[in-house]
């Protein structure tokens, strides 16, 4: 039994890790959870940085297969942040999971028309 457990652990460690990938073009641009004229409600996503409201731009990474169901998400590059941003193709919106996956605190963003980052 111990040999089987050790083998399973080694096999799990040998699985390829999905590292950062380019942010999908559909996620790039300026988004809002209120009005596009309200700066504090904006989310601006570029290829390597994102900015929430009037905060400073911060480095991001996109993980293509992030949630176990094959969906990708943007994460802040800084360690210790659990929130993420997921693009929902069916509604063409971005969901900000402010406390991480499967936790309360989701904010939904819609694209500001004509405002690409």
Q: What residue ranges do the domains of the chain occupy?
A: 19-111
Radius of gyration of the chain (CA): 17
Average pLDDT over residues 89-109: 90
Cα-based angle 78, 71, 7 (whole degrees, multiple of 5): 85
Q: For 53-97, what is each residue's pLDDT tens digit? A: 999 999 999 999 887 677 899 999 988 888 999 999 999 999 999
Is the model more confident about 28 or about 6?
28
pLDDT reported for residue 115 = 52
pLDDT reported for residue 17 = 46
> Which residues make Cβ contacts (< 8 Å) with residue 88, sequence separation at least 6?
94, 95
pTM, entire model: 0.77
Calpha distance 115→51 (Å, rounded):
14
Average pLDDT over residues 23-50: 97
Give the residue carrying structure tokens 């929902």.
88
């Amino acid at each position: 039994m111990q040999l089987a457990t050790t083998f399973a652990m080694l096999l799990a460690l040998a699985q390829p890790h999905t590292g950062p990938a380019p942010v999908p073009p559909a996620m790039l641009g300026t988004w809002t959870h209120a009005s596009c004229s309200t700066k504090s409600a904006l989310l601006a996503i570029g290829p390597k940085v994102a900015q929430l409201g009037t905060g400073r731009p911060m480095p991001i990474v996109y993980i293509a297969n992030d949630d176990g169901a094959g969906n990708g998400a943007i994460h802040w590059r800084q360690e210790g942040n659990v929130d993420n941003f997921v693009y929902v193709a069916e509604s063409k919106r971005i969901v900000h999971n402010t406390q991480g996956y499967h936790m309360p605190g989701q904010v939904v963003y819609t694209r500001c028309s004509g405002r690409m980052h």
